[in-house]
Amino acid sequence: MQSENPTVVVFDGAAEFREALRAGLGALGIDVHVAGSWKEAQELLELGGVTPALAIVDADLPGRPPELGPEALVQCADEGCSTLISCESGAVREEIAARSRRDGVVGYLDRSAELEETLFRVQAHLAGRLTTSYVSALRTRTLAPVQLTPLDGDDRRPQVGLVRNLSRTGILLSVVKPPAVGTRLSLSFRLPARMSPIECTGWVIWAESDGPGDSGSGVGIEFDELAADDAEAVSGFVLEKLRSSTGPIR
């Protein structure tokens, strides 16, 4: 029986990064297939049976023909597949940004970033392809609604969002009217057993106007740096949720 969870392919020459993504995304219920070279990736795709919603491809994947960009590897894999380019540092962000929205490339992943940040970015880009049951599994039902207020643009009216997912680096929300990508926001939300709200700022890295199933419209927000006690509280809450849903974290 084919899994209803989204599928991600990770084609990267850095074994540690590749395996960390396999383990981290797999723990979230996402189907992950990996390869360490252009040839291995081609063989995996040619075997069939893999229909990725998202491909993460090394900008310098070993064996890549010099006349082809990394996104060429998966252009024929699935018409709806988006590509994130993985790279060694943020120094190439401008180059990746210039390719964004062309040939299915939607952004980059910095291999030097913390795993939690990387996992959040992947989930944000996957959110529009998640099945209703998977969105429901991610949703943190014990959290109260989040108030978000745009800090720029013409419409700065606050609105309330329901939490789909939360990490120390960002939050996924269902909202009535998602702000545009790049919008800066102020946010306020509460965690169980914590008296004071967490108040922070962030910016929209992903948005959809019509979500799948019952998920509503969605928005992915990356936090600016949280205050130390807020970051500790969020990390503790997320870790407890992971323990309760997947068992002990090793």
Topology, domain 7-113: Rossmann fold (3.40.50)
Note the pLDDT of residue 2.
46
Q: Do residues 87 and 109 touch, judged by C-beta distance below 8 A?
A: yes
> For the chain, which residues make up each domain, given as ranges?
7-113, 135-246
Strand duo 7-11 + 54-58: pairing: parallel
What predicted TM-score, i.e. pTM, was given to this entire model?
A: 0.60
Rounded CA separation 111/58 (Å): 10
Note the pLDDT of residue 56.
93
Q: Between 2.40.10.220, 3.40.50.300, 1.20.120.350, 3.40.250.10, what CATH number should domain 135-246 receive?
A: 2.40.10.220
Note the pLDDT of residue 246.
44
Q: Do residues 52 and 72 touch, judged by C-beta distance below 8 A?
A: no
User: Which parts of the chain register pLDDT below 70?
Assistant: 1-5, 75-80, 89-104, 127-143, 209-216, 241-250
Note the pLDDT of residue 249.
37
Note the pLDDT of residue 129.
55
List Cβ neighbours of 184 (8 Å cut-off, separation of 6 or more): 150, 151, 152, 201, 202, 203
Note the pLDDT of residue 216.
54
Note the pLDDT of residue 62.
94
Note the pLDDT of residue 206.
81
Residue of 116, 93, 14, 92 whose CA lies nearest to 57: 14
